Structure 1
Amino acid sequence: MENTPPVLAANAMTMVFALLLIASVVLKSWLSSRQVRHVARHRNTVPAAFAAQMPLEAHQKAADYTIAQQRLGLLEITWSSAVLLGWTLMGGLHTLNLLTLQWLPPGLWQQLVLLVGFALIGSLLDLPFGLYRTFVLEQRFGFNRMTWKLWLQDGIKGLLVGAVVGLPLAALVLWMMGAAGTWWWLWTWGIWTAFNLLMMVIYPTWIAPLFNRFEPLQDEVLRKRVTALMQRCGFTAQGLYVMDSSRRSAHANAYFTGLGRSKRVVFYDTLLKQLSVDEVEAVLAHELGHFSRKHIPKRMVSLFAMSLLGFALLGWICQQTWFYTGLGVLPLPGDPNDALALLLLGMVLPLASSFISPVMAQFSRKHEFEADAYAAEHARSQALESALLKLYQDNASTLTPDPVYVRFYYSHPPASERLGRLPHRAAGTPEATGASA
């Protein structure tokens, strides 16, 4: 658009943005409505493949929970779209920028204050949905264990951690944008990548314990089984820990965290209460499958490659006046507008991501199938099946999602596909119907 008259280029930017926003809202709303209708249609019948293991009451609870989540999601789609319009074409970001300029002269500090102000206002605008999700929706279905005191403590800690970690990084990025020359975006991408790798090392040891208690795994039988499994798989970890997730939620999970020697295995205490030793071993074998099949490095490379493209785009677009004016912001001639460029691009790019999400979701589901196959090789396949069924039931995950919705949003395969791929089910052996709760 360099040779296009500025007004025409700005109008074109406005039109592209408006079309993207409308298309994104229509697509998300359509998919969510499909999910609601599909789950509601199958609410009163457990799929035949799971009839022996899943009680009708649990199936109906999962359907009701899914529908409630989707209806809340539809409201969030509408609200977030209105907020996005308010920040951009209705002049919200421009007004906030002018307010900060009344207090501070143009420069690094003014831009940093603009970023902080935008983040705080955005958090306040999203707050009602977060509160409703935790204290109404999750409470209604028996998942919430969060108290108001704990919620407030988490909020204060989150703000402090964000300030200590985020502000220096934001200041460094803004300084690089103004001082590192034409190729600032490449050097800034390198800093951002290094920061993310550093966070993978320090998060498990320094940040996560601010929010949860992590205690060494005490169950000696489980410890021996897990240790033997990791030895068979050639995996080493800094330790095995149990996290007090039950203080906040009844949902269960397990995960690996960290990088290099800082890697650790973390079990939710809710998971250990719900699963047998065989089942926990199978779930851990699945997680080990992600490492064995190099899924983590592949995802990191994809993330860093996409972020490089994002920084390159930012490096070009922050110099285009039509980009700002087309989105409802008047840039300051001769003064830095880097924070405005960061915020505007950060609001626009997610609209485009709505249309590439099926590709990312497909790769993620492929990785899950591969990790399941690995788990079936190194642990009992039947134990993995029974563990997954328990987790589907205890987490109220629907067994009957809409197929189109799955293709767009599901990072994990739905139960019918996932369990159908397990070796003993695929082979049709008697073990296929022998999953125990």
Structure 2
Amino acid sequence: MDFLHSGLAAVQRHLAFVSVDPINWKFYVQVFSWGVTIFESYLLLRQYPLYSKTSPPEALASHITQEDFEKSQKYGKDKAKFSIFSKLFSQCVDSAMLQYGFYAWCWGAAGTILGKFGYGTDYEILQSIIFSFTMYLLSSLPTLPLSIYSTFWIEERHGFNKTTPGLFVTDLLKSWLVAFALGAPFLAAFLYIFKWAGDRFVPWLMGFMISFQLLMVILYPTVIQPLFNKLTPLSEGELRTRVESLAGKLRFPLKHLYEIDGSKRSSHSNAYFFGLPWSKHIVIFDTLIQQSKPEEVEAVLAHELGHWYYLHPTKMMAISQIHIFTILALFPAFLHAPPLLRSFDFPKLVSAAPPTIVAFLLFQMILTPLEAFISIGMNAVSRHFEWEADRFACELQDKLNEKSMNDMGDRLGRALITLHVKNLSTVWVDWLYSAYHHSHPTLIERLRGLESFRTKRAKKE
């Protein structure tokens, strides 16, 4: 532990200038946040002309009808135009809030609210909770019309939206209540660790955050998700028999097999698993069951079980912990930096003893350009995991010595095509746009990969 703290102290010595140099951090954040927005808009402009193509890629020509292709192109074009507008609008709102002292105002407002209940500013954790939710609610209001437009115009126009106005409002209120119910105790514990551990908070905070993530694995399916969707045991039949048989052969610790009413809000489809290492749950969207044959859904789940087999969720969690550790290791220099808060219009009295939550928020803003690059690397890792999961499905016959699974790769390919067609997913994708935004390979890349896996396997026989 002493070695760890010595290393962290060395990092802080290199960053000591942050606490004394009068750097114009607001200007820095404005420039780089706009830089990220302009870059992302550039990627959309690279992608946009591809929605004007009149025929699908040759590799998909026999799998997608002209009518479905044209629907996909129109859907993609509408989403791209909306994305450019919403991205620039959101950036203008964020930039204005930053320029005109919105965050300093929210901290002051939180102190005023606290005072009305007879508490002073020495109750930093309580003021931090009020500050966070005041900021969260007020900053979400300007972009709320964008969410309404996306749901009730774009998704509605292309036949995906199933959400009623009443359900939209109910979901919004529920999400705010859940955010407060979980966020308030999380934030209180988060900030208490800083006060209790002092500058040696990093290992303790890492332990707390890992514990919280494991707790959410339990709470989300049992408490949170039922507030929004209904999970029911998958009914008896061919699909349930196939999935339970596959899970049993792979020794996947299947505890529950659910069908979720995704069609309540959208006609998009999906499937996933979650749970602790010794108790897993598989969830299949009712839309996927309606759109695909049982053997194709089984292939989709074979891919998902490939993620489990190769420990992809665990590996991604480990990578994310390294990422979080790096952020926390850099943070102490910014925690004790009055010039940082002064740069963002906080009064001298507040800046002299920077509140932890404020310093952390501003620190996150400074990391914006770095996070954009990190997301590219995370996507690359995720795409590699997708390749491995696809290969796993193709090789199931050999792993389980089951001849009935020798067409699993073909079934997965058909399922992927069906999912893309039904979801009107884009089939023409710019490589740079995909590298930045997509955690999965494109459909064409995955179909070529499946064909390559089958060819290599055939050569071995």
Bigger shift: residues 323-332 or 133-142: 323-332
Residues 1:209 and 2:226 aligned together: yes
Question: Secondary structure of the residue that 2:241 maps to in structure 1?
Answer: helix
* Aligned equivalents of 2:71, 2:201: Cα separation in 1: 52
Closer/same/farther in 2, CA of residues 353 and 292 from structure 1, 3 Å limit: same
Partner in structure 1 of residue 364 of structure 2: 346
CA 1:197–1:305 in structure 2 vs 1: closer, same or farther (change >3 Å)?
same
- Confirm or deny that 1:119 pairs with 2:136: yes
Structure 1 partner of 2:442: 414
- Given residue 248 of structure 2, which amino acid in structure 1 is its aligned partner? Q
Alignment map for 1:395-434 (pairs within 5 Å): 395-423=423-451, 427=455
Residue 36 of structure 1, CA deviation: 0.8
Q: Secondary structure at the match of 1:354?
A: helix
Instruction: Tell whether 2:56 aligns with 1:25.
Output: no
Q: Which of residues 145, 150, 166 in structure 1 aligns to 2:183?
A: 166
Q: Structure 1's 80 and 367: CA in aligned 2 closer, same or farther, altered over 3 A?
A: same
Aligned-pair Cα RMSD in Å: 2.2
How far residue 234 of structure 1 moved from its aligned partner, in angstroms, is 2.1
Please list, as runs of the form range in 1=range in 2, the aligned pairs for 1:17-56 lying within 5 A after superposition.
Answer: 17-40=29-52, 42=53, 44-56=54-66
Q: Distance in 1 between matches of 2:236 and 2:127?
A: 54
Question: Mean alpha-carbon deviation: is it higher for 334-343 or for 220-229?
Answer: 334-343
Higher mean C-alpha displacement, 120-129 vs 287-296: 120-129
Of 224-233 and 140-149, more deviation after overlay is shown by 224-233
Q: What is the percent sequence identity of the aligned residues? A: 31
Q: Are 1:174 and 1:339, in contact at CA under 8 Å, matched by a contact in 2?
A: yes
* Cα gap change, 1:429 to 1:66, in 2 (>3 Å): farther
Q: How many pairs does the alignment contain?
A: 426
Which residue type is aligned with residue 29 of structure 2?
F
Matched, 1:95 2:105: yes
DSSP-derived class of the 2:272 partner:
strand
Give distance in 1, aligned partners of 2:379 and 2:101: 35
* Residue in structure 2 matched with residue 139 of structure 1 by the alignment: 156
Distance 1:220 1:79, change over 3 A: same
For 1:337, which of 336, 342, 355 is the aligned residue?
355
Q: 2:413 aligns with which of 379, 385, 391?
A: 385
1:292-331 aligned at under 5 Å gives the runs 292-330=309-347
- Deviating 4+ runs (over 6 angstroms): none
Q: Distance in 2 between matches of 1:143 and 1:303?
A: 33
Task: Name 2:4's counterpart in structure 1.
Answer: none
The alpha-carbon distance between structure 1 residues 147 and 253, as it changes in their structure 2 partners (threshold 3 A), is same
Deviates more, 1:308-317 or 1:206-215: 308-317
C-alpha separation in 2, matches of 1:162 and 1:17: 27
The answer to whether 1:356 aligns with 2:374 is: yes
- Pick the aligned partner of 1:178 from 175, 184, 195: 195
CA-CA distance at 1:313 after TM superposition = 2.3
Deviation at 1:215, TM superposition (A): 0.8
Q: CA deviation at 1:123?
A: 2.0
Q: Which residue identity does 2:97 align to in structure 1?
A: W
Q: Distance in 2 between matches of 1:2 and 1:199?
A: 36
Is residue 19–residue 334 contact of structure 2 (8 Å, CA) maintained in 1? no
Q: Within the alignment, does 1:84 sit opposite 2:98 as a pair?
A: no
Q: CA deviation at 1:50?
A: 1.2
Seen in structure 2, the aligned counterparts of structure 1 residues 282 and 98 have a Cα distance that, compared at 3 Å, is: same
Distance in 1 of aligned mates of 2:206 and 2:192: 13
Distance 1:390 1:21 in 2: 38
With over 3 angstroms needed to count, the CA separation of the structure-2 counterparts of 1:236 and 1:309, relative to structure 1, is same
Residues 177, 424 of structure 1: alpha-carbon distance in 2 compared, 3 angstrom cutoff: closer
CA contact 1:254–1:267 (8 Å) conserved in 2 = yes
Q: Which runs of 5+ in 1 are unaligned?
A: 431-437
1:10 to 9, 23, 35: 23
Residues 47-72 of structure 1: CA deviation (Å, up to 9, x unaligned): 11111110111111111211211221
- Aligned letter for 2:143? D
Report what 1:276 is aligned to.
293
Displacement after TM superposition at 1:152 (Å): 1.9
CA distance in 2, matches of 1:5, 1:220: 65
Task: Give the Cα separation in 2 of the matches to 1:178 and 1:259.
Answer: 31
Of 176, 188, 199, which aligns to 2:205?
Answer: 188
1:334-382 Cα deviation digits (max 9, x unpaired)? 5451121132233333332222322111111111111011111224111
Where 2:367 maps in the other structure, the secondary structure is helix
Q: Residues 298-328 of structure 1, C-alpha deviation per residue, up to 9 Å, x if partnerless? A: 0000111111222222232111122222334
TM-score by length of 2: 0.87
Normalised to the residue count of structure 1, the TM-score between the two structures is: 0.92
Helix, strand or coil: the match of 1:255? Answer: strand
Displacement of 1:3 in angstroms is: 4.7
